[in-house]
Amino acid sequence: MAAFLLRRAIQGLAIVFTVVTFTFVLIHAAPGEPFGALLEDPRFTMAMREQLRARYGLDRPLPEQYARYVAKIASGDLDISLSKLRPVRAILAEALPRTLLLMSVALAVGFALGIGVGALQAWRVGSRTDRVFVRLTVAIAAVPDFWLALALMLVFAVKLQWFPVTGIVDDAMHPFLSPFGKAKDVLRHLVLPAGTLTILVAAVVARHQRAALLDVLPDDFVRTARAKGLSERAVVMRHALRNALLPTITLLGLALPSLVGGAVFVESVFSWPGMGRTALDALSARDYPVVLGTVLVGTSFVVVGSILTDLLYAAADPRMRRA
């Protein structure tokens, strides 16, 4: 187990390192430069530009800049933002919890809902309920994330006005609210963005869960459970579902990269100030350190998530523990 973890950790580190290096090359190969907005100011002279570039080490040859950056990451420093003039770590420390809040709610509720619906469908396979959910989940799988976000926004925020349209807090009122009121404020803002991602996750999970259960139900151990005289409910929920959960755990690891992407669209639609928005803003400002920082954190998140998935899998399946 320790050897496996160590191997996966080294592999993960190599992946993160490669992706960051690739992004570094990409971002410096691209046209445009930081301080682009300043250049449009007529008082901003070339000498001042050179001075700024020298201050942030941008006048150095690329290999040197790269070596410096890698040395900085190794010591836990993510450099300083070129557009906000704040440490990148502080910017990401603000944005990351917001995205994690969005994603953890979407993952937790989405998987719970999906497993429940899938189990219900498999239990009553061929029934009206099953057929309705088959259609529904297939349809949802075809809906673009950003469009679902817009549709929910239009119906529940603009027309019905049950929830706020954008943002993470009510900017005017938030500072004056009690701690409980503040939490409630964030929750109200969370419902629609998290709901969008939840619906999409749940539909995918439900389809897989139904298929996995139907795969397991003809097996011998299910027949044995039935022969013991257990109720159909106990057979499906306790015996079959436990085995059919394994493919769903794999799905969790596979869902992470696309969820990071989905979060970019959903954050953009709802102006949710998380990692996605931070990355988009940094890209258009050519804020190299912030772009690299978001890529570093995003990729690490996916890598750690996939290792955790493997651990979860080992915990759920005794056969995997020895391998």
Partner 1 sequence: MRRPIRGCDVPSTPVIASLSIPEPSNAIPLAQGTRLSQAARALWQDRAARTALVCLAALVLAGVFAPLLSPYHPDVPLGINTLNLRPPSAGHWLGTDPASRDVLSRMLYGTRVSLAIALLSALLASCMGLMYGGVAGYAGGALDSAMMRAIDALLSIPRVLLLITVLALWGNVSVFSLVLVLAVTGWFGVSRIARAEAMAARTREYVTAARALGAGHVQTFVRHVLPHLVGPVLVAATISVGQVVILEAGLSYLGYGVPQPNPTWGSIIRDGRETLSTAWWLTLFPGIALVGTALAVNTLADRLRAALNPRQLPAQ
Write the interaction track for partner 1 spanning residues 32-71; mark x where CB under 8 A is met and - where it is not: x---------------------------------------
Residue in this structure with the two tokens 């349809």, named with its chain if needed: 139
Exactly one of 122, 153, 197, 236 binds partner 1 (CB under 8 A); which one? 153
Is the CB of 148 or the CB of 235 nearer to partner 1?
A: 148
Interface with partner 1, residue 125, by CB under 8 A: no
Among 6, 9, 38, 151, binds partner 1 (CB under 8 A): 151
DSSP states of 158-199: IIS-SS-SSSSS-TTTGGGS-HHHHHHHHHHHHHHHHHHHHH
**Which span sits near partner 1 by CB under 8 A: 87-95, 107-115, 172-180, 280-288?**
280-288
Determine, following the binding rule CB under 8 A, whether residue 262 of this chain makes contact with partner 1: yes
Q: DSSP 3-state assignment of 216?
A: helix
Contact window for partner 1 (CB under 8 A) among 38-46, 174-182, 211-219, 231-239: 211-219
Closest by CA position to 288, among listed 2, 1, 36, 4: 36
Nearer to partner 1, 40 or 178 (CB): 40
For residue 60, give the DSSP letter: S
Report CA-CA distances (Å) from 230 to 116, 129, 216, 233, 236: 20, 24, 17, 8, 10
150 binds partner 1 (CB under 8 A): yes
Q: How many CB atoms neighbour CB 128 within 10 A? A: 8
Q: How many CA atoms are closer than 13 Å to the CA of 159, on its beta-carbon side?
A: 7
From the list 123, 265, 270, 272, which residue makes contact with partner 1 (rule: CB under 8 A)?
Answer: 265
Sorted by sequence, the CB contacts under 8 Å of residue 34 that are 6+ apart come out as 56, 58, 82, 83, 285, 286, 287, 288
Residues engaged in binding partner 1 (CB under 8 A): 11, 14-15, 18-19, 23, 26-27, 30-32, 138-139, 141-147, 150-151, 153-154, 158-159, 211, 214-215, 257-258, 260-262, 264-265, 268, 279-280, 283-284, 286, 291, 295, 298-299, 302-303, 306
